[in-house]
Amino acid sequence: MSYWMRRVRAALPWFFVAVLSVGIVLLVRLPAAWIAPQFARATQGHVNLVDPQGSLWHGSATLMLAAGHDVQGATLLPGRIEWRASFWALFTGRVRLQMRQTEAMPDPIDVEATPRGATLTAGTIAVPASLLAGLGAPFNTLDLDGNVRLAWSPWRVFGTDAFGRLTLTLGDMSSRVSLVKPLGSYEAVLQAQGASSTLDLSTQKGPLMLDGHGTFSRNSSMFNGTASATPDQRDNLAGLLNLLGRPIGPGQVALSFMR
């Protein structure tokens, strides 16, 4: 073996150590801005992280809802989403992340992911209904006002199968297209049961009554429900009901979706 070959062979371990060290340093220093386009791409532009600060491992950003990749009419959630990720957990094949929203989420939640699946701890988030207008039609047409609260049980995902319960509560809702204020309070419950899920919509109170049931799977989606008005408000809610669905009776329309 020549002199230079011996020198190269002796230097190889140190070369690999140097490359690994540089790689770790670059990974640790990845800016929070790196995740923003990935997040937007995963949600097809509907949920975005803007004004990211800090690093990929300890950073924050503002949540923005949009109708798609066109951000015209988008809305921003007050406060910031903060996250802290465990860098060393990556070496055990896991991603561990703790996150919170400074104004809308009182308690932080934990996310843990492996190649086999992911888990999300239970949590709640409360936002103004006006935030939904950023998603586009029909929310920007209805221009809703009221309180929106989202609560979920521990959530587990294995491949494409999900297990958990999500409850959406809409309190004292009103709309610019109706003079009746408030329209009512409603609850929608999504129950994920592996390859399929169910959705149940019910009215808690109010002159505008909504109810329905839906089933969702990878191959098909179906929801059947009704929207109706109390007898004393049928005339006042006629215009809104016509926007919501197909008339099927006095002061009643069908809420149907099938794919």
Count the Cβ atoms, other than its own, within 10 Å of residue 88: 8
User: Model's pTM, two decimal places?
Assistant: 0.81
Residues contacting residue 128 through CB under 8 Å, at least 6 positions apart = 145, 146, 147, 148
Q: What is the pLDDT of residues 159-178, one digit of tens each?
A: 888 899 999 999 999 998 89
In a domain, 98, yes or no: no
Place of tokens 């465990």: 86
Question: Is pLDDT at 15 greater than 70 in this prediction?
Answer: no
> How far is residue 173's CA from residue 182's CA, in Å, rounded to a whole number?
5
135 and 256 housed in the same domain: yes
Cβ-based neighbours of 107, under 8 Å, separated by 6 or more: 100, 123, 124
Show the beta-strand stretches assigned E in 93-207: 95-101, 109-114, 117-120, 123-128, 144-152, 155-158, 161-175, 184-194, 196-205
Average pLDDT over residues 29-34: 67
Highest-confidence segment of 4-8, 66-70, 118-122, 186-190: 186-190
Higher pLDDT, residue 145 or 38: 145
Domain range for residue 26?
Answer: 1-30
What is the overall mean pLDDT for the chain? 83
Q: What is the pLDDT of residue 123?
A: 93
pLDDT of 143 > 70? The answer is: yes
Closest CA to 98 of 106, 109, 90: 109
| Stronger pLDDT, 15 or 244, i.e. the higher one | 244
Q: Does some domain include residue 170?
A: yes
225 pLDDT band, cuts 50/70/90, is very high
Least confident of 70-74, 122-126, 230-234: 70-74
Domain assignment present for 112: no
Q: Is 39 a member of any domain?
A: no
Say yes or no to pLDDT of 14 above 70: no
Q: What is the pLDDT of residue 5?
A: 46
Q: Is residue 212 one of the residues assigned to a domain?
A: yes
Residue 94 pLDDT > 50, yes or no?
Answer: yes
pLDDT band of residue 44 (cuts 50, 70, 90) is: confident
Q: Is residue 169 domain-resident?
A: yes
pLDDT at 24: 39
Confirm whether 163 is domain-assigned.
yes
Q: Are residues 126 and 26 in the same domain?
A: no
pLDDT above 70 (res 138): yes
**What total number of domains does the chain contain?**
2
Separation in Å, CA 87 to CA 30, 39, 90, 99: 11, 19, 6, 15
The percentage of the chain sitting over the pLDDT mark of 70, rounded to a whole number, equals: 88
Calculate the CA dihedral of residues 37, 42, 47, 52 and round it to 10 degrees.
-30
Predicted local distance difference test score (pLDDT) of residue 175? 92
User: What is the band of 13 on the pLDDT scale with cuts at 50, 70, 90?
Assistant: very low
Mean pLDDT, residues 208-231 = 93
Retrieve residue 184's tokens. 């009512």
217 found inside a domain: yes
